[in-house]
Amino acid sequence: MKAYGASRNARPSALAQVKSTRPSDLLRQRIINEIRKSPNRRITFARFMQFALFDQEYGYYASGKVKIGDANSQNYDFSTNPERYFPSYSYVLAASLTSMWQGLGCPKTFHVVEMGAGNGTMAKGILDYFKKYNPEIYKRICYTIVEVSPSLVRKQKQTCLGHSVQHVIGSALAPPLAGIEGVIISNELPDAFPVHRIKNNNEPELSQEIYIAERDGQLTEIEGPLSSKEIVDYISKAKAGGEARGESVVNLNMVKWLTNLNQLLKKGYILTIDYASLFSDKVKEPVRLFREGSQPHVSDAYAFPGEQDMTADIHYDVYCRVAEDLGLKPLFVGSEARFFGLNGGVWEKYDWSFFVLFHSKNVTGQYKRQGSKVIMMPYSTEDVPAATMLISELEKIITTGQEENVLRQMNWAVPAQQIVQLKSDFLDLTQELPLEKWREIKGQAPEFWCKEALLSFKTLQNNGFSLSGSPLKKVNDIIRFYTLFSIAKKILSIFCKTEYIYDFVDIEAKLQSQFPNLSDELRGRFARGLNELPQNIPEVVYLPPSMGQKLCPIQIINNLSR
């Protein structure tokens, strides 16, 4: 997830450019020199972006200016989900990689190639997981990072100390690898490939391309005909969007990259995670910049080239069409949260623009999630992993009106009069209460009324929710929800393996040990629900219907959900 904010507006004068030794001024002059030598005195935006990001001396990535932060960083240009959700994000991917290893027939050497590994955080989390929870795969894994930035390679080596990681320094577009049998994985890589910018893109014959030219020593935009037939081919692979929709990008490097991956991969999987959209979607900022925790306008890159990250959504309809043409088998195309849910990961907060594009090549074994682990993914260390994933199951198990009986069987000393008093207190909430009153209620509440429940209810009230004049049923429903919430937390606690991982094994034995007074009937119902829970996560995780249906316009074989 990237950060947003304001930008610098200052532009250096032409005189300042001549005298300045600032890297961005030197890079801008290098770009201008190429523009002056070009036949039409212009270059494509893709060529400009190549300079800005990957120039060996002054480019953002190649020169080492890139600053990737985590949830606690103060000085960074952008952050990514592997950083923000460390280590749980990597843990879910490791669980998915376990299924891929099994789908490949459990090879003695398991090759995993990560392209563009940032600080190395995702690699570290994956290897940490295997070392701790699956030493057999840890002994067999051969983890390789392909990285264009020497400075990031140094960070990756430091991050992954204690693990065996190989490095290939060079562009992900053409790495010196071949005959890979394993997995090629990337997170937020092709969105940083240099892109062409075009207008009126639904009809190629009417489209114009945005070029970069020089005016009075400054970089400026001009329009002209499309620069190559490949752009027309790219548009033809996209789903027709109807009327012309203004500006978009064309990521020819993504096509080249995926084509090269297909050549490198002899047998295995390609797992691409990135923020994505349809080619026909209207995107407010087709090209986005990130610098120092802010999101400047694209003109900032012309004034200060090489000082900021530049990205653009990848088009998953084009990606999938290219994959189909290459003969790759689609296993999953959809939201990142959906994919992670299918592999045991439960999100607390989420940016729904991130997609997973998952394909296989020459794999005869079926990709199927194995294991009993559920991995919570809290947004920060302050967030307690939510128990709401269990509530829908508990609602099927616990009959309305039986909550108190269940609590007693779980050895919870909750007098019935306390529950009655709590309901009475909430019926009296006809206006905003002072903090002291909330503390008083919290102190009087029975044990099952947890801190999270009280805070959640207070948030509802601050957002305009009121119990004034509410029927008793409404209050009872609220009390019931938070009762189930707390029962879920207590049950989950006995399956907690680490801070992030819940392992649903020996379910009946653990329920019997922890709650010996549970009736055989209730314990059996709990056990059946918990046994199915790891496989039912996608049904528990909230998914906006629009995202759930927003698949690319080719047939997708979703083996994961079968």
> How high is the pLDDT of residue 391?
63
3-state secondary structure of 327: coil
In Å, how far are 321, 456, 467, 482 from 478, measured between CA atoms?
Answer: 48, 11, 10, 6
Low-confidence ranges of the chain (pLDDT < 50): 1-18, 242, 244, 380-386, 413-420, 422-423, 427, 429-433, 438, 441-456, 460, 465, 467-472, 539-562
The pairing of strands 196-199 and 180-187 is unpaired
The amino acid occupying position 169 is I
pLDDT in tens, 270-291: 999 999 998 888 888 899 998 8
Q: What is the pLDDT of residue 227?
A: 95
pLDDT at 482: 61
Q: If DSSP states are collapsed to H, E and C, what string results for 214-261?
A: EECCEEEEEEECCCCHHHHHHHHHCCCCCCCCCEEEECHHHHHHHHHH
Contact of 114 with 186, CB cutoff 8 Å = yes
Q: Determine the Cα–Cα distance for residues 232 and 417; give it in Å rounded to an integer.
A: 73
pLDDT number for residue 381: 42
| CA nearest neighbour of 100 among 368, 449, 305, 309 | 368
pLDDT in tens, 113-143: 999 999 999 999 999 999 999 999 999 999 9
DSSP string, 271-324: EEEEEEE-TTS--S-SSEEEBTTB---THHHHHSTTSSEEE--EEHHHHHHHHH
CB 492 within 8 A of CB 502: yes
CA distance 68 to 292: 10
| Residue 476 tokens, joined | 């009872």
Q: Residue 275 corresponds to which tokens in the numbers above?
A: 């923020």
Q: Whole-angstrom distance between the N-terminal and C-terminal Cα of the chain?
A: 30
Cβ burial of 25 (10 Å; 0-12, 13-18, 19+) is buried
Tokens 């201008």, residue located: 32
